[in-house]
Structure 1
Amino acid sequence: MQKIGIFGGTFDPIHYGHIELARCMRDQLQLDEVRLIPTGLPPHREMPPVSPQQRFDWVKAAIVGETGLMADDREVRRNGYCYTIDTLIELQQDTPDALLVWLIGADSWLNLNRWHRWRELLDMGHLLIAARPDYAFEGLSPDLSEEFARRCVIANTDTLSRGKISLLSSPLMPVSSTLVREMLARGEDVSALTPVWRQLESSGLYRF
């Protein structure tokens, strides 16, 4: 069975932390590919000031030469809000025999019960939660706690299965899109934080 990793986000902008997470998914779970999917119009946050197409172009440039990592523009091309459930359904229709392994951050997991059709989401594939090994899920709602207890398995190649949840143990890098934007706004060097620093600096889009 083909195993496809799904890593969505605003990528505003993409940085080495994103790429390391994608590599970690690919390598730890021996995924056939990992698709990085920049969101178009996010339903749970304000629209980033940089266009979806520009963010997609940066993602595509950032992963050149990365084996098994792909940039997917389906949400960029979509009209209206980009709900994760719609993206996963579309991907499953495109690859009916594949297992979808989709990644979210720990903060997103804490609010997953506010997402559109969130219970259906949990049955669409194997959910990975990116968190440090010592991360404490404080404030987790009772319904999410129940789902986690019922579905949680250790993340490895043998346990990957639709409807399961695992923690992805990864060395989260001390970098964020917010930090990159702030440094660019101050005119500081971000070459150690993102592979597309030249494009970011020349665009002038984060300078205020």
Structure 2
Amino acid sequence: MSHKPRLGVFGGAFDPPHIAHLALAQHAMAQFGLQQLRIIPTGDAWHKDHTLTASPHRLSMARLAFEGQSNVVVDDREINRAGATYTYDTLLELKAEHPNDDLFLFIGADQANAFKTWHRWQDILKLATLVVAQRGGAAQWHNVVSPDVQRLDMPSLKVSATDIRAHYAQHTVAQPPFSNWLPASVQHYIEQHSLYRLNR
């Protein structure tokens, strides 16, 4: 068994960051004994089917969302990187910066289903241990990609950034359970900057 320091990586649009993102970070730290978890908001996401909110807003929201979690650091490298953003490049940089650490890449079940479309996905598996936040359907998936894929056990939370953006666009933010989907600081930021409003 390896006794190297463990560095976790959790990337995504975080548009906006919500309670399921926070839960994943908490369970990742605990289950895998990470020394640190990097939260990495994506820059130019080539695979997204919608226009992302401006990166300074997503970075600010991520910092607000995760500021209370010990050893969880928001990393802005992908937002600052020119051109398309690839997880492979990020892992390569982190490995060069932390050559003695074992890298763990955490992804959700929705990302897992599309993993084989990722840029240099085979090389990602060589750089980091892939960990999937377990939800229905992921069990068969990891056997197709690699038997070394690990599972992150966490509760299934019925919340998505897509739903949150839709609620804001429809001006239904006051209806429950919306207030339970976001950290209060993130909700305040969204309202302060009128994000996700169709008429902004």
Bin of the TM-score, shorter chain as denominator length: 0.7 to 0.9
**TM-score normalised to the size of structure 2?**
0.88
Unpaired runs of 5+ residues, structure 1, are 152-164
Distance (whole Å) between structure 1 residues aligned to residue 157 and residue 118 of structure 2: 27
Structure that is richer in helix per residue: 2
Match of 1:192 in 2: 180
| Conserved? CA contact 1:12–1:48, under 8 Å | no
> In the alignment, is residue 120 of structure 1 matched against residue 108 of structure 2?
no
Match of 1:148 in 2: 146
Which stretches of structure 1, 4 residues or longer, exceed 4 Å deviation after superposition?
A: 137-140
Q: Secondary structure at the match of 1:122?
A: helix
Distance (whole Å) between structure 2 residues aligned to residue 185 and residue 206 of structure 1: 6
Distance (whole Å) between structure 2 residues aligned to residue 20 and residue 137 of structure 1: 18
Match of 1:155 in 2: none
Match of 2:137 in 1: 136
| Conserved? CA contact 2:108–2:132, under 8 Å | yes
Aligned residues: 189
Match of 1:48 in 2: 51
Unpaired runs of 5+ residues, structure 2, are none
Cα displacement (A) at 1:182: 1.4
Q: What does 1:1-208 align with in structure 2 at a 5 Å threshold? A: 1-46=4-49, 48-132=51-135, 135-137=136-138, 140=141, 145-149=143-147, 151=148, 165-187=149-171, 188-189=173-174, 190-195=178-183, 196-208=186-198
1:111-149 per-residue CA deviation (whole Å, 9 max, x = no partner) reads 2221111111111111101123xx224985xxx744423
**% identical aligned pairs:** 33
Distance (whole Å) between structure 1 residues aligned to residue 156 and residue 82 of structure 2: 33
Distance (whole Å) between structure 1 residues aligned to residue 105 and residue 139 of structure 2: 22
